[in-house]
Amino acid sequence: MTRRTHTAFTLAELLLVVAILAALGTIAFTLFGNAERDAQQKVSIANQAATMRALQNFVLLNKGALNSLDSLLDYQTANGAAGSFLTDASMLYDMTAPGVYRGMKGYNALGDDALTDDQKTQNHGLHPAGLGIGTTSTNASVGIYYLNASDVEALKELGLTTVYDHNPLLIHANRGPYAGAGVTSGPGFRVEDTPVFPRTLAAGQPVLTVNPETGNGKTLYDYFGVSLNTTTSSDDNGTPDDTSDDIETSATTPSGERLLLFGLGNNCSIVGARKGGMSQPPQDDAVGKNYYHHYIVAVRMHSSTGILYAEIAGVLSPKMETARQARHQSDWRS
């Protein structure tokens, strides 16, 4: 009778087995992660088309009335340098891109110990992908445009008379701007709750626009059928070294067309409306909860027979991507 002998694995063999299992696990995790991201991207593309149809139906059924969109601008810039909350340097928002909503970037003026690093990073504002914000107005995909009287009247015909500015101040993050108020987990730290300051649109007031002189800006104008022929550059408010992201009226198309951008947030008139409304605004899970994850409405300003009109041009993802761009990214990863 032959006796079988069993030999134990050597340490080298065990390490080799562990390494193989780890590699297989990494491959599986990577494949799963890519599949999940692609699925989120496809959902986002479908949401863009569905949201556009919903907006068109709502405007048709309600004869305009598309109001109370998010401005995607910080409250202080929208209300001027003398805004009531602009009283202490420690309360300022991130000055690397004044005006464009960047989330909670300031410091608690009260020196409240309850403010943690984790809380300060819960809200990053607009997603940086495709925006190019934070440097200078000459390479930013978005910028600030100041409305004139004709713009205001055209937007009014669409129903848009009020926008909601974002709260950039930590001191107001918990709706308790008083001595001893703890800054914990108030609306300032939740991206979807930050548009809390309503503003009635008027001539001279700022809105977000697409910069037609950048790569992504040209792509967006082309996508919405606007032919560009700009001859002037973006302006830095007359100060070469500032980063205001302002864009002069002259930096546009020969026909005066311009794309304005607004967020489809919780305050929009379409939310809860009886005719053609939606129960809640759709969100793009692909961008993550720490960024503004509502879809962005592009409004096209154009003239016909001397009259300026405002119409819904389309819906962009929170990353400022068209459905075509998002589909290309998804196909490229496949």
Q: Please report, rounded to a whole number, the percentage of residues in the chain having pLDDT higher than 90.
A: 18
pLDDT of residue 104: 61
Q: Beta strands 195-200 and 142-146: pairing type? A: unpaired
Residue ranges covered by each domain of the chain? 11-333
Over residues 215-263, the pLDDT tens digits come to 778 888 888 887 666 443 333 333 333 333 444 433 444 456 889 999 9
Over residues 73-83, the pLDDT tens digits come to 877 655 543 33
Tell me the mean pLDDT in the region 89-104.
Answer: 48
pTM of the model: 0.71
Which stretches of the chain are DSSP H helices? 11-62, 75-78, 117-120, 149-158, 215-223, 323-333
- The per-residue pLDDT of the chain, averaged, comes to 69
* For residue 296, pLDDT beyond 80: yes
Over residues 149-174, the pLDDT tens digits come to 999 999 999 999 999 888 766 545 54
* For residue 213, pLDDT beyond 60: yes
DSSP string, 118-159: HHHTS---S--TTT-TTS-TTS-SEEEEE--HHHHHHHHHHT
